[in-house]
């Protein structure tokens, strides 16, 4: 169906992300076969759903990759694939980057025949039944990193049985808390170990690296404080941030949407109650005198952009997919997010420590902002955030030790 040019043009116009996914699957196995030339190195295959999940395994790859070991990464998400492809042109941190072929038995067998991984590492919650079944049949050591199994998880319900059935493939589950370990034991898996989140190590490394962005620095020049709204994902996120923009005309805003297709960007700019520009419309010489909002419509830079902020809001918290709250926290700034934090341990701990806050309404976001408006309150948060980040550093080595056993 999607092979016709007419359908592809329609999809590209109406749903860019779906278009990229469809195009990425075309002739995919042939592409992988051409690029996976056997060079004598053992292959570690890493898989992440999207760019956010990749940041969990990034420090693991940096530790495990060497001249005798080839590290390849697959993505389900086009945004993750594109962001890492762009980064890898400069960093060369992985050997190969591919979309994940669809989870059919024939695709899985052909993919594994081509790649021939000696070990496989999945991030967070990627459960592809045919891949896991075939990995088990081939007796390939397979690991799940940064897993969280809440009491409400479908894995504990009767309808989670098809996934539980293929969990026998996992050599080890590396989970984020004791509750997850206990819940896995309830369903018969005693090969879990509580290990911290490698995402902290990745965020710490990024925060320490030099970064300059001439356009953003021109926008942020002067003494006007900066609010960063990252991974703005839906109408709820946009409503909260737009209300704050309207109330805080003495603050500049960097808004980084989770999706950057033309339809989404139009919706974002239409909702913003102030003059805004798109990042891609600007240069370092742009006059931002009357511009209160810069909409950053590029991929892969958010974790670095947070360094320009005095405060941050992280999107996705009105769905089950809150984005990374660790990325802004490493800069020691107050962080707000939506209420759906049941799938993650870090935001709960940030709330407990007074680093982060749950907001559910525009009024709630404005109230929180007033609580952390002053420099004194910001310094208090920075002190608590620094201690929190330091306490959660250096878990990558523990993860890697488990994989290399």
DSSP string over 147-162:
E---TT-GGGSGGGHH
- Quick one: CA dihedral 73, 76, 79, 82, positive or negative? positive
* Catalytic residue (choose from 35, 53, 267, 342): 53
**3 class by beta-carbon count within 10 Å (0-12 exposed, 13-18 middle, 19+ buried):** exposed
Instruction: Using alpha carbons, select from 326, 291, 301 the residue that is nearest to residue 312.
Output: 326
Strands, E assignment, 135-270: 142-147, 170-175, 192-194, 226-232, 252-257
- Residue 319: alpha-carbon gap to chain centroid: 15
Contact in structure between 229 and 302 (CB atoms under 8 Å): no
Contact in structure between 312 and 306 (CB atoms under 8 Å): yes
The residue behind tokens 């007796």 is 139
Verify whether residue 134 is a known catalytic residue: no
The residue behind tokens 């039944």 is 129
What is the phi/psi pair of residue 288, to 5°? -100, 20
Contact in structure between 256 and 232 (CB atoms under 8 Å): yes
**212 class by beta-carbon count within 10 Å (0-12 exposed, 13-18 middle, 19+ buried):** exposed
Strands, E assignment, 61-187: 69-75, 96-99, 119-123, 142-147, 170-175
CA angle 181, 187, 193 (to 5 degrees): 20
Contact in structure between 310 and 378 (CB atoms under 8 Å): yes
Catalytic residues: 53
């Amino acid at each position: 169906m999607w092979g016709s040019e007419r359908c592809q043009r329609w999809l590209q116009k109406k749903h860019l992300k779906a278009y990229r996914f469809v195009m990425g699957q075309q002739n995919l196995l042939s592409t992988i076969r051409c690029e996976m030339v056997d060079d004598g190195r053992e292959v570690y295959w890493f898989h992440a759903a999207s760019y956010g999940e990749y940041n969990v395994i990034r420090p693991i790859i940096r530790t495990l990759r060497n001249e005798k070991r080839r590290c390849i990464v697959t993505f389900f998400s086009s945004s993750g694939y594109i962001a890492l492809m762009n980064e890898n042109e400069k960093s060369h941190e992985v050997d190969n980057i591919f979309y994940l072929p669809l989870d059919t038995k024939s695709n899985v067998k052909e993919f594994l025949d081509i790649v021939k991984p000696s070990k496989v590492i999945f991030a967070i919650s990627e459960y592809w039944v045919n891949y896991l079944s075939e990995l088990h049949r081939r007796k390939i050591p397979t690991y799940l990193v940064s897993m969280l199994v809440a009491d409400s998880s479908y894995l504990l319900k009767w309808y989670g049985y098809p996934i539980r059935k293929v969990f026998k493939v996992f050599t080890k589950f590396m989970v984020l808390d004791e509750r997850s370990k206990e819940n896995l034991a309830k369903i018969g898996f005693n090969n879990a170990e509580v290990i911290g989140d490698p995402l902290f190590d990745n965020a710490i490394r990024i925060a320490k690296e030099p970064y300059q962005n001439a356009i953003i620095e021109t926008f942020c020049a002067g003494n006007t404080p900066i609010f960063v709204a990252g991974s703005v994902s839906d109408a709820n996120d946009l409503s909260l941030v737009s209300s704050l923009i309207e109330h805080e005309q003495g603050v500049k805003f960097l808004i980084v949407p989770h999706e950057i297709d033309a339809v989404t960007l139009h919706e974002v700019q239409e909702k913003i109650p102030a003059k805004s520009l798109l990042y891609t419309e600007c240069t370092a010489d742009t006059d931002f005198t009357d511009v209160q909002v810069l909409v950053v419509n590029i991929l892969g830079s958010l974790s670095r952009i947070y360094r320009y902020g005095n405060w941050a809001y992280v999107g996705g918290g009105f769905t089950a997919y809150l984005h990374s709250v660790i990325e802004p926290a490493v800069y020691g700034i107050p962080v707000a997010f939506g209420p759906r934090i049941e799938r993650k341990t870090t935001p709960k701990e940030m709330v407990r420590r007074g680093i982060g806050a749950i907001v559910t309404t525009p009024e709630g976001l404005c109230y929180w902002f007033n609580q952390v408006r002053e420099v004194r309150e910001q310094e208090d948060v920075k002190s608590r955030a620094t201690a929190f980040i330091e306490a959660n550093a250096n878990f990558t080595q523990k993860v890697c030790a488990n994989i290399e056993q």
